[in-house]
């Protein structure tokens, strides 16, 4: 599983990364977590607001920090 966190480094982007890493640790799911800060790459996903979460090429969320419950759903 490849998880990309799209954002320029704002506090919400950092919180998103922390939340995802926490859930990965709790569930034991193996995933590659990549922080994407390049605006052109972010826009290539059609994302106009950050933070955003992309899992295996699919945008799961944009414009807010996910809660742990949402992240767990994506891991299944």
For the chain, 76 residues long, give each residue's pLDDT as a single digit of tens.
999 999 988 999 999 999 999 999 999 999 999 999 999 999 999 999 999 999 999 999 999 999 999 999 998 7
CB atoms within 10 A of CB 24: 17
pLDDT confidence of residue 6: 97
Instruction: Identify the active-site residue in 1, 2, 8, 10.
Output: 10
Please state which CATH number belongs to domain 2-74: 3.40.30.10
Q: Which residues contact 71 (CB under 8 A, 6 or more apart)?
A: 19, 20, 23
Radius of gyration, alpha carbons of the chain: 11
Residue 10 designated active-site:
yes
The answer to whether the CB of 58 falls within 8 A of the CB of 71 is no
Q: How far is CA 72 from the centre of its chain?
A: 12
Would you kindly state where each structural domain of the chain is located, as residue ranges?
A: 2-74
Alpha carbon distance 44, 30 (integer Å): 26
């Amino acid at each position: 599983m490849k998880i990309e966190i799209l954002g320029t480094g704002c506090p919400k982007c950092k919180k998103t990364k922390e939340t995802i890493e926490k859930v990965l640790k709790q569930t034991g799911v193996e995933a590659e977590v990549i922080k994407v800060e390049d605006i052109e790459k972010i826009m290539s996903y059609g994302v106009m607001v950050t933070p955003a979460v992309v899992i295996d090429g699919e945008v799961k969320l944009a414009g807010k920090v996910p809660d742990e419950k949402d992240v767990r759903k994506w891991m299944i």
